[in-house]
Structure 1
Amino acid sequence: MKDTLLEIKDLNVIYKTYEGTVAAVNGVDFALDRGKTLGLVGESGAGKTTTALSIMGLVPSPPGIIQRGRVTFAGQDLLTLPEKDMKKIRGNRISMIFQDPMTSLNPVLSVGLQISEALVAHQNLSEAEAERKAAEMLEKVQIPGARYREYPHEFSGGMRQRVVIAMALACNPRLIIADEPTTALDVTIQAQVLELMRSLKEEFATAMIMITHDLGVVGEVCDDVAVMYAGRIVEMGSLDQIFGNAMHPYTLGLFRCIPDIEEESSTIHPI
């Protein structure tokens, strides 16, 4: 029997705009087992981030409305919980890594203080204990703990993303949602950050949803893959199934967009 941590059933989210109603997420279903990594793949506007925000209880309202569905995390339907209970889960049992670390971090607070805030709020640590734990978390992401009192602008883009990863892992969550965590980084730094995330996920025994449009990232870190298009999951399977035997035309289109250095081609295949 599978050890399911997160299960989403018939999730429907709309946005009401001046031009009409947009169905951002339309009947999404998937499950994630403890300790596993699911890649949520699709181009911009597919509904990936809205799905993640629904899990976190952060869909902006207005204009967003969760019309129906269930988001069951560790046996609890998150969509039925009052906000005071969601605050106990958000940042504690479920954490999110956003794609732009500069906008994720407060520019006027030191990075160490931003990590320790969650520890004080969720783990009832004293400020001194939280400071020690925050310095330890910086060391975990290969940043010297002595930089605890430095500010975000004093770090490179890759190091800022490591700080955000440290914040996400500080309370040892059971689920991390990573929303395009390497998009703003150059290729070599991307590889370092992905390897760091993979090793820390194993060390902390955390499940992860990796949101990306990059199939290379999926191949590096994911166990299973769900392909989203126009608010729906059009194909889902293990990494080997999707990469070795994709069936849906949209999934095949995503793979055809990947340049192949071993094959000469003058045609750009549309999705």
Structure 2
Amino acid sequence: MDKINIKKLEVFGNHGVLTEETVLGQKFLVNAVLYTDTRQAGITDDLEQSINYALVCQFITKFMQEHTFKLIEAVAEKLAEAMLCEFNRLESVELEIEKPWAPIRLPLQNVSVQIERSWHKAYIAFGSNMGDKEQYIKQGIEVLKSTRGCEVTKVSDFIHTEPYGGIEQDTFVNGCLELRTLYPPKELLNILNEIEKNAKRERIIHWGPRTLDLDIIFYDHLVLADEELIVPHIDMQNREFVLEPMRQLNPYFRHPVCNLTIEELLNKLKKKK
């Protein structure tokens, strides 16, 4: 990925733990590395095909002057999120907030916080087999669309499937969606769980009836396994109601553990029947 570098942008802001810092203010220095594809801008010599760094500098300055935070960690976190949401060609940003005159009463040249934040691609499976099934799903998708830091980029067709797991219950409506998100996996899981909760989801019987089910199937090509979350979803390769809608979204996505594409996993599963 190509980079645009902004170095030592001076901003006067009111950030700090001490009262005099938030009242009197002080100078901060901002360094930013903007990750984007500059190929078309280089070919066409068209600013619209790149990120206007003058607008970025103005945005950083305005944001830091209009907001007040105690910690420069918070300045960096909130500013990175705001930049990624504001500039649609910005895929990732490295951000360093420097505090040249940190009031620690010791000889110190500088203190800074440096972070890197970026957009990620996740695939979410959804399902419902209670009440107005499609309405529960549609409402859940709309909430996800309205969540800052989340962009629903594709939604599969809804399919009707038989229950999975041997529990006697009504048929399901299932599907998958593709999501661009700024949230790390466990924070995204919390957001999905909250959407389920608002849909009055009750976790009484494992694989039992539910108003709304939202599962992280893939998150980039991450492999994660702990008590809270397993990614890729541990059983997705055995679920046609996941693989079929996933094939609509991205048939050539390769499972980072099985090392097979969605198309290959689906064909393999069908041959077992």
Same fold (TM over 0.5): no
Larger helix proportion, structure 1 or 2?
A: 1
TM-score by length of 1: 0.28
Max Rg structure:
2
Which structure ranks higher in relative contact order (CA pairs < 8 Å, sequence separation ≥ 6)?
1
